[in-house]
Amino acid sequence: MFMQADCAIYSLSVREEQFYKLKSCIQEIAARKERYHYNLLGIFGVMLNMPIKRKNAFFCSQFVASILKQGDLIRPEKDLSLIQPHELPFLADFQLVYEGRVKDYSHKIMRERVPIPQ
């Protein structure tokens, strides 16, 4: 089912220190992954336009926005717990890399041997 989903993949140029700050934030969360949860209540907050903040809980676009903010890459005008996926590309100078089905992108990577950053 996931492979049939539509997706959009963006790139963003960052300075080296920003990259390492982003990487550090993500690694810190990954190292303590048992403390983090999905913010399902936050999704309802988005629908009602009411921020619902929970400690160590994110929904997808909230997580991305939080990491980008910690890396000093964005300064959103609204609460991170209200940011929706379609708003993320407008928060910084993102460049669209691909739009389409996940399965087609995975085939493209294999075909072109696109390097994936470590």
Instruction: Note the pLDDT tens digit of each residue in 10-43.
Output: 999 999 999 999 999 999 999 999 999 999 999 9
Q: Which residue has the higher pLDDT, 118 or 2?
A: 2
Phi, psi for residue 99 in degrees, rounded to 5: -140, 125
Q: Tell me the pLDDT tens digit for each residue of 50-97.
A: 999 899 999 999 999 999 999 999 999 999 999 999 999 999 999 999
What pLDDT was estimated at residue 104? 85
Q: Tell me the pLDDT tens digit for each residue of 7-17.
A: 999 999 999 99
Q: How many other CB atoms are there within 10 angstroms of residue 32's CB atom?
A: 10
Distance (Å, rounded) from C-alpha 84 to C-alpha 72? 19
C-beta separation of 57 from 38 below 8 A: yes
Distance of CA 56 to the CA centre of its chain: 16
pLDDT band at 114 (very low <50, low <70, confident <90, very high): low
The two beta strands, 95-101 and 6-11, are antiparallel
Q: What is the pTM of this model?
A: 0.82
Three-state SS for 63-112 is: HHHHHHHHCCCCCCCCCHHHCCHHHHHHCCCCEEEEEEEHHHHHHHHHHH
